[in-house]
Amino acid sequence: MPTTITICRTCRYDRTCDAPVRDGMRFLKRVEDEIAADPDANGVHLRAMRCMACCDKACAAQIAADGKMTYVFFGLDAEQNAADLVAFARSHERSADGVVPFGERPEAIKKKIGTRIAPLTDAAPAVETTWDDHDENA
Ligand code: FES
């Protein structure tokens, strides 16, 4: 399964703003343009969803793939972070387990990772974890 970027298309920086095009939609379009312009990002898929339940931390996005680590980003800049997010997704795609080493993460979004989530796989043992050795800052 390819690495997929999911963007919250309903995010907005000002939650009182009723503009018809939300900041999340603008960010989605910029990420789409970055993927189209980057031949190394051909394998990265893009999709949108309505609300990722972190509305006070716009813009929000997720990078995930079947059997790999999932990263959730908060506070992304719709105008500035599209290329960074695609670069992160490319590193995620190259990684066998989805772990993107700290040194490979684009500087502008390093601190915008809100959380990362270990994959659920059929082969995962019930108790033993296999992700303990992945130091977040390694
Ligand atoms: S609108 Fe984007 S997280 Fe709720």
Write down the residue that tokens 């995620």 correspond to: 92
Residue 55 near ligand 1, beta carbon < 6 Å: yes
Q: What is the mean pLDDT of residues 6-27?
A: 94
Q: Is the pLDDT of residue 134 over 60?
A: no
How many other C-beta atoms lie within 10 A of the C-beta of residue 22? 20
Proportion of the chain in helix, strand, coil states, percent, rounded to 5: 30, 15, 55
- Of ligand 1's listed atoms, the one at least distance from the Cα of 10 is 1
Going from the N-terminus, what domains does the chain have, and what CATH number goes with each?
Answer: 4-117 (3.40.30.10)
| Phi, psi dihedrals of residue 92, rounded to the nearest 5° | -60, -40
Residue 23: what pLDDT?
A: 97
- Of ligand 1's listed atoms, the one at least distance from the Cα of 51 is 4
Residue 72 near ligand 1, beta carbon < 6 Å: no
Tell me which H or E stretch contains 72: strand 70-73
Please state, in angstroms and rounded to a whole number, the distance separating the CA atoms of residues 73 and 114.
Answer: 5
Q: Is the pTM of this model over 0.85?
A: yes
For a pLDDT cut of 70, what percent of the chain falls above it? 88
Residue 58 near ligand 1, beta carbon < 6 Å: yes
Please state, in angstroms and rounded to a whole number, the distance separating the CA atoms of residues 100 and 111.
Answer: 14
Give per-residue pLDDT as tens, 62-120: 999 999 999 999 999 999 999 999 999 999 999 999 999 999 999 999 999 999 999 98
Please state, in angstroms and rounded to a whole number, the distance separating the CA atoms of residues 75 and 119.
Answer: 23
